[in-house]
Copies of this chain bind each other. A is one copy, B any other.
């Protein structure tokens, strides 16, 4: 008789979120199940349910984890972090991390769009979305305001919405928004945001 020993790793919410993000990237948020996340992390379904008792809790954690990951990437970007580089180059380098110009970023953008869609019918998720978008917008307001531009609030709101809209349209209608179009649109929009 063969006794099969299945080793269950001890796994915290951060590891589970990474596993969930990997599943969501491949199958979409809507294709992410508790069983799929448990399999990916090598833990029991109960372990996942312990940390994420509801689907929305799982969605929220995945989205926050994704936002952190993109944040770290922007912070490490050599142009975005270079205080001596022209502001349009810095903005472009930072915001390109939000656009689906590679397969990996397309997956990220799809998760962000699916999260936003779910947030339209969940006050809890809408609050998380407001927090993340509000954080990015505040940084944009600061950058634009530091350049003495009038109405930095409207400029920042518009710039953020444009990036989100480019991501939305590019993941849902890819043939209409190839990489070159996304780049051209972003450059044009940043130039407009910086025009007094």
Residues of A participating in the B interface, judged by any CB pair closer than 8 Å: 27-28, 30-31, 110, 113-121, 125-126, 129-130, 133-134, 137, 151, 153-155, 157-158, 160-169, 171-177, 181, 184-185, 188-189, 192
Known contacts A113-B116, A185-B158, A166 near B165 by CB under 8 Å? yes
Determine if A185 and B30 form an interchain contact, defined as CB atoms under 8 angstroms apart.
Answer: no
Q: B121 touching A110 by the CB < 8 A rule?
A: yes
Q: Which of B119, B133, B151, B173 contacts A134, CB < 8 Å?
A: B173
For the residues of A in contact with B, the DSSP-based class is helix
On chain B, the residues within 8 Å of A173 by CB distance are 119, 126, 129-130, 133-134
Contacts A118-B30, A130-B175 given; does A158 touch B162 at CB 8 Å: yes
Residues A172 and B116 in contact in the complex (CB < 8 Å), given A166-B161, A192-B192: yes
Contact B133 A169 (CB under 8 A): yes
Q: How far is the CA of A130 from the CA of B175 in the complex (A)?
A: 7
Cα A114 to Cα B32 in complex, Å, equals 17
A154 touches B119 (CB 8 A): no
* A27, A31, A162 — most chain B CB neighbours (10 Å): A162
Q: Is the CB of B130 within 8 A of A168?
A: no
